[in-house]
Amino acid sequence: MKRFSVFFSLLLLMMLTCSVLYPCTSYLVSKGASADGSAMISYAADSHIRYGELYWRPAGEWAAGTFITLYDRSTAKPLGQIPQVGKTYKVVGFMNEFQVSIGETTFDGRSELVDTTGIVDYGSLMFLALQRSRSAREAIKVMAELISEYGYASSGESFSIGDPNEVWIMELIGKGTELVYDKKLKKYINKNKGGVWVAMKIPDGYVSAHANQARITNFSLSNGKTSISSKELDKIFNPEVEVIYAYDVISFAKEKAYFSGNDEDFSFSDAYAPMTYDAARYCELRVWTMFNAVNDDMQQYWNAATGKDLNTRLPLYIKPNRKLTPADLMSFKRNYLQGTELDMSKDAGAGPFGLPYRWRPLTWEHNGKKYTNERATVTQQTGFSFIAQMRSWLPDPVGGIYWLGVDDAGSCVYVPFYCGISEPARTWAEGYGDILTYKDDAAFWVFNRVAHFAYLFYDRVMVDLRKHQAELENKFFSYQPQIDKIAVGLHEKDPELAREFLTDYSTTTADNVVYYWKELGNFLLVKYLDGNVKQEENGEFLRNPWGYPKSPKFPGYSEKWKKIIVEDTGDQFLLPE
C-alpha cells in the first residue's frame, strides 16, 4: 500500500506545480442528465467464462485486399472473413479514440430468427463499429451496413451507443435462415440475410437502461426528418433525426405473423421478443432498480418489473430527479435489490453473514416444485464492467474516460483509463492470463481472490472492502480535474506529450491498484482468519506489551441466524439449565 500512496503523493505534487443466464446490465445517461455535461453509458459483461481484461485495438492503416477474420464472441469459433477498411481507429476497451463507446445486453428473442449463415456476431459488430466510426450515428450506420452485407450471426441484442454529444439504444435481431439456390453464384444463399432493428436517441435530460430484454416498443415512423428508415440511411447525420429503423422491420413481422395491425401500433419488443415472466423478473427488474434510484414514481411499475403484470411496460427512458455522476452508475452496478422485499441478504439463503449472492443455477426444484433465486444487478460472475464517460468540451484524448472494473462489480475498483493512452496497463492487458490461466498479479485474478474471501464472511469483510474501494475511487474523482487540466495544457502544446502523460497516469494508477488490492487481500485474510476478528487500528494489528497478538474478537452469529438454527434443530443444542 505504501507504493501506491507514494505514487499519488508525487502526482499531487506534480499537479500543484503543473442466455438463459440473463447476463449483462447497461445504463445510458444523456448529457443533460449528468452532473458535468458528460454523456455516459455503462456495461457489465456477466458470464461464467468471460475474463476481465482491457481490450486493445491500435489504430491502423491497411492495404487494399486486406481481410479480417471474425470470431464468435461466445465461443471463439471462426465465422468468416470480411474486407478490412483502409484506416481503423484505436479502441481502448469499448471506447475509441473519438470517445465513441458501445455496450450491449443479449435478449435472445425468437429463436427461429438466428441466421446460421451470418458471419458478423454481436461482438464483432461492436469492435468493427468502434474501429470505423467517429460518432454514435456513424457507428449505427456501420452496424446496419455490416449486417446487411454479411448477415448477423447472433440472437437478439440491445446496444448502448454513445459519443460526447448523444446516447442511443439500438435493438437488433436476425431474420432466420431460408436457403435458396442462386444460379448466378451457383450456391445456396440465405434469402433472409441481414436483420431487423430500431435505433432511438435518448432525449437530452433523460436516462435509459436495458438488461437482457428488448425495451423498444412503439416508435415514430419515417417522416424524412426526425424519423427515417434504412432506405434513407444517408440522412442519419442530420441532427434532427432521432429514430432510425430497418425498412422492413414491420413488414417482416407481418410476414412472419408476429404482428398484425396498423403500422403506427407496431412494437419492436412485442413482435420480436415478447415479454414473459422470466424477462420481467430477471431482466426488467434490473432496469427498475436503476430507474427507482433516480426517479420517485417507479413504485407503480413494481408489479411489471417482478412479472406480476405482463401487460404494463416500463418506460424506455425517464427523467432523473437529480444529475448523475460516474459514481452513481458505479453504485447502480452494485445493487442487490437492497431496500426491496427481494433483498437476498435478508433471507435464510444469505447464510449467517448476509451474503446477497446465490450460486447458479438460477432456478432450482424442491419436492416437485420449481423455485428461483433473484437475478440482481451485481453478480459474482461478472468478467468486467465499465462506465464510459464522454465529454464534449475537452479534446478527445482527454475527454473520454473508460472507468474499468474487473470481476464482481460489488468488490471491484473502477480505474480510469483515458482514451488517449498509447498502451494498456500491464496487469490489465488483454492476454495477461485468462479464465483458465491463473496469474497472481493479473488484475482479474487479484480482484477475484479478494472477492471470494469476502463471500465467506460477507457482512464483516465488506465493511473493510468498501472503505478501501471508496477511498480509491474518490481519490480518482478528486484528481480528475487536475489530470484533465494538465493534459489539456500539454495537448495545446504537444498532443503526443499529452498522450504520454495520460498513458503514464492511467497505466501506473491501474497497476498500482492491483498491487494495493493484493496487499488488501493479505490484510483481510489475517484480520478475519478462521472466523475471528483480529484487533487492529488504522491498518496495524495490535499486540500486547510483550509483542504477542491481542486476543481476537468472536462476533458469533446474528439473532436471526440463531433462530433459524433452533427452528431447524429443536433441542439438539439446548444446554441444561
505's CB contacts (< 8 A; 6+ apart) are: 11, 418, 483
CA pair distance 559, 144, nearest whole angstrom = 58
Residue 421 is predicted with a pLDDT of 98
Beta strands 227-229 and 363-366: pairing type?
A: unpaired
Report in angstroms the alpha-carbon separations of 305 from 90, 280, 312, 489. Answer: 39, 5, 9, 48
Count of CB atoms situated within 10 Å of the CB of 112: 10
Q: Long-range contacts: 261-264, Cβ < 8 Å, 24+?
A: 263/221, 264/218, 264/221
Q: Are 372 and 360 contacting, i.e. CB atoms less than 8 angstroms apart?
A: no
Q: State residue 22's pLDDT score.
A: 61
DSSP string computed for 221-262: PP-SSSEEEGGGGGGTT-TT--EEE-TTHHHHHHHTTS--S-
C-alpha cell at 318: 425517464
* Alpha-carbon gap, residue 545 to 333, rounded angstroms: 46
Residues 6+ apart with CB under 8 A from 481: none
- Residue 230, class by beta-carbon neighbours within 10 Å (0-12 exposed, 13-18 middle, 19+ buried)? buried
**Environment class of 80 (CB within 10 Å of its CB; exposed 0-12, middle 13-18, buried 19+):** middle
Task: Write the DSSP assignment of 299-330 as a string of letters.
Answer: GGGHHHHTTS-TT----SEE--SS-B-HHHHH
Q: What is the pLDDT along the chain (577 residues), one digit of tens a residue?
A: 444 444 444 343 333 333 445 679 999 999 999 999 999 999 999 999 999 999 999 999 999 999 999 999 999 999 999 999 999 999 999 999 999 999 999 999 999 999 999 999 999 999 999 999 999 999 999 999 999 999 999 999 999 999 999 999 999 999 999 999 988 888 899 999 999 999 999 999 999 999 999 999 999 998 878 999 999 999 999 999 999 999 999 999 999 999 999 999 999 999 999 999 999 999 999 999 999 999 999 999 999 999 999 999 999 999 999 999 999 999 999 999 999 999 999 999 999 999 999 999 999 999 999 999 999 999 999 999 999 999 999 999 999 999 999 999 999 999 999 999 999 999 999 999 999 999 999 999 999 999 999 999 999 999 999 999 999 999 999 999 999 999 999 999 999 999 999 999 999 999 999 999 999 999 999 999 999 999 999 999 999 999 999 999 999 999 999 999 999 999 999 999 9
Per-residue pLDDT, 184: 87
The β-bridge relationship of strands 187-190 and 227-229 is: unpaired
Residue 482, C-alpha cell as written in the block: 487536475
Report the Cα–Cα distance between both ends of the chain, in Å, rounded.
51
Cell readout for 348 is 435464510
Helix, strand, or coil (residue 49)? coil
What's the pLDDT score for residue 23?
A: 74
Query: Per the structure block, which three cell numbers stand in for 354?
Result: 448476509
Cell of 577: 439449565
Give the span between the Cα atoms of 93 and 401, in whole angstroms: 11
Say if residue 274 is preceded by a cis peptide, omega within 30 of 0: no
What are the b/e assignments for 65-74, b being 16+ CB within 10 Å?
eeebebebbb
| Residue 136 near residue 100, CB atoms below 8 Å | yes
How many whole angstroms separate alpha carbon 213 and alpha carbon 270? Answer: 11
What integer pLDDT is reported at residue 68 of this predicted model?
97
